Amino acid sequence: MDPLTLSRIQFAANISFHILFPSITIGLGWLLVFFKLRFLATRAPHWMELYFFFTKIFALSFSLGVVSGVTMSFQFGTNWPGYMNTVGNIAGPLLAYEVLNAFFLEATFLGIMLFAFRRVKPWVHTGATILVAFGTTMSAFWILALNSWMHTPAGYTMIDGVAHAVDWVAIVFNPSMPYRFAHTLLASGLTVAFLTAGLLAYRALRGDRGAAVATGLRCAITLGAVLLPLQVLVGDLHGVNTRDYQPQKLAAMEALWESTHGAPMTLFALPDETTRTSRYALEIPKLGSLLITRDPNGYVQGLNEFPGLHPPVAPVFWSFRVMIGTGLAMGLVSWAGLVWLWRRRDFPRLYSRILVAMTFSGWVATLSGWYVTEIGRQPWLVQGVLKARDAVSAVPGTQVATTLAAYLLAYVGLLAAYIASLFYLARKESDSSGATKGAHP
């Protein structure tokens, strides 16, 4: 394979592995703040049990996020030098601000949050917890500002083939940024809702009937049920934004080969790029146009308007359906859970098992969503400015293949260890609950 394809696979592998952990820590950081504040308000020990249990998971996720994030910071130079040469004046400051005001904040106060519960005054510890959560959110803000700028560049001018900044406010708050930021934060909240629900349901199935498990499950399911409709709303707005700025991506998401009025919504199809048709299409008439243009007969641009400049259709089309399907399942399960919460009944074992099976459903939805937006940007690296193939480094393909194999092996091993550890921690916690654990005022 050529270095371009290998470098793309390597970058995709690195960033896919990396995003798994921020998608947990962003939401979990704030959930820990919530647990801590509930404890301070009620002094009920089970809030502190929840806090300590999920702190362990936060710490593990955080360290995986840090080390895979360090990998990312080197990838630009090792594999994509053309990226920084062309848009370094824009990307550089955004990345620098991420490190300066977010990364250090998280990394420094994490030590206090994790290990200084007995060493500092309670308000300092609570403050450190809030600063860590705030830091992870700010990290996401800067990174998503840059990522969004690559989709919808604004506030710059090109001089001799190099982007120069003109208006920093326009760069940071570029057209897709608010939608992407909101969409990603909500995705993290949903990921965490199902992660906590899954682990606590696992403890419940193992006979842990402590107050922490029941309370935690109630929080997790409520969180999922509240965030999901919000996510649907934000996702819809994000789609409209894509219509305006990246119509070729939207056309690929719907496998719409020809521009048309009154486009259908495709539930299922096998898009075939060689014949430029979709086989076995199952469609709902007019719904596509209604969602995209708010008009059942609205005009939607098809792939025919972007010859040679649209993304590969099948991966975008399928990733989008995986995301929507997972999201629907998450909605169904969290709203079903509300029924038992409402009646103040125990969850049936089958329901708990479904929660356990869906522990990492947020990862599936998050990853497939990112594949939609990132594959959907191809062949551009920066929409309309720089193509991926013009940014790749001159490192020989054999070297890239070697490191790619090493990274993949490491990631598979670490992911297996991570998932096994979460369930091991849950087992250990439920085996030791009932012993003298809990709050130290």
Partner 1 sequence: MIHDLVQSGQWLPFAFALLIGVSMLLYAILDGYDLGVGLLSRFARGAERDRMIASIGPFWDANETWLVLGVGLLLVAFPRAHGDILTHLYLPVSGMILGLIFRGVSFDFRKKVPPDQQPRWNAAFFWGSLIVTLSQGYMVGRFMIGFQEGVASQLYAVCFALLVTSGYALMGSCWLILKCEHDLQRRAIRWARIAIWLMALGAVLTSLTAPFVNTRIYDRMLAFPEVTLLLALPLVSVMLTVIMHVLLGALPLPGDRLAWLPFALAVMIFVLGFVGLVYSFYPYIIPGRLRIVDAASAPESLRLILWGTAVVMPVLAGYTVFAYRVFKGKAHDLSYD
* Residues numbered 4-63 forming contacts with partner 1, rule: CB under 8 A: 48, 52, 55-56, 59-60, 62-63
CB of 397 to partner 1, least distance (A): 12
Amino acid residing at 51: Y
Name the DSSP class of 100.
I
**Which residue's entry shows tokens 């969180």?**
223
Nearest-angstrom CA–CA distance, 347 and 350: 8
Contact map string, positions 405 to 424, toward partner 1, x by CB under 8 A: -xx--x---x--x--xx--x
Q: How many CB atoms lie within 10 A of CB 77?
A: 11
Nearer to partner 1, 117 or 299 (CB): 117
- Near partner 1 by CB under 8 A: residue from 30, 39, 76, 371: 76
H helical segments located in 80-161:
81-98, 104-115, 122-151
Residue 247 to residues 264, 299, 301, Cα–Cα distance (Å): 16, 12, 7
Least separation in angstroms between residue 430's CB and partner 1 is 15
Q: Do residues 51 and 35 make contact, with C-beta atoms less than 8 angstroms apart?
A: yes
CB of 214 to partner 1, least distance (A): 21
Distance (Å, rounded) from C-alpha 128 to C-alpha 32? 11
* Residue 152 · residue 243 · CB < 8 Å: no
Q: Which stretch binds partner 1 (CB under 8 A): 191-199, 254-262, 319-327, 391-399?
A: 391-399
Site for partner 1 in 97-116 (CB under 8 A): 97, 99-101, 103-112, 114-116
**What six digits make up the tokens of 291?**
């969602």
Q: How far is the CB of 148 from partner 1 (least distance, A)?
A: 18
Q: Which of residues 181-210 bind partner 1 (CB under 8 A)?
A: none
Nearer to partner 1, 317 or 411 (CB): 411
User: Hey, is 318 helix, strand or coil?
Assistant: helix
Task: Give the residue with the Cβ less far from partner 1, 119 or 279.
Answer: 119
Which is closer to partner 1, CB of 110 or CB of 263? 110
Q: What string marks each residue from 120 to 159 as x (binds partner 1 by CB under 8 A) or -?
A: x---------------------------------------
Per the rule left: phi > 0, alpha: psi between -120 and 50, beta: everything else, 295 is: beta
Q: How many binding residues for partner 1 (CB under 8 A)?
A: 71
CA distance 142 to 134: 13
Q: Is the Cβ of residue 51 or residue 347 nearer to partner 1 in the bound state? A: 51
Min dist CB 12 to partner 1, Å, is 16
Q: Which of residues 245-304 bind partner 1 (CB under 8 A)?
A: none
The pair of three-digit structure tokens given for residue 63, joined into one six-digit string: 């360290």
The nearer residue to partner 1, 113 or 313, going by C-beta atoms, is 113
Instruction: Identify the residue among 9, 45, 89, 397 touching partner 1 (CB under 8 A).
Output: 89
67 binds partner 1 (CB under 8 A): yes
> Should residue 78 be labelled a site residue for partner 1 when binding is judged by CB under 8 A?
yes
Q: With the CA atoms of 132, 133, 136 and 142 taken in that order, what torsion angle do they form, in degrees rounded to the nearest 10?
A: -110
Q: Smallest distance from the beta carbon of 236 to partner 1, in angstroms?
A: 35
Comparison of 338 and 425: residue with beta carbon closer to partner 1: 425
Task: Choose, by CB under 8 A, the member of 1, 2, 42, 70 that binds partner 1.
Answer: 70
**Measured between alpha carbons, how far is residue 397 from residues 2, 77, 273, 381, 411 in Å?**
6, 16, 27, 20, 21
* The token pair that represents 142 in the structure block: 């800067």
Instruction: Give the binding range for partner 1 (CB under 8 A) out of 32-40, 88-96, 143-151, 183-191.
Output: 88-96
Least distance (Å) between residue 30 CB and partner 1: 18
- Which two three-digit tokens encode residue 22? 């921020």
Residue 425 binds partner 1, judged by CB under 8 A: yes
With both helix axes pointing from N to C terminus, report the angle between 122-151 and 177-205 in degrees, rounded to the nearest 10: 130
Beta bridge partners of 299: 261
- Contact between 57 and 3 under an 8 Å Cβ cutoff? The reply is no
Q: Binding residue for partner 1 (CB under 8 A) from 279, 294, 344, 440? A: 440
Amino acid identity of 77?
Answer: G
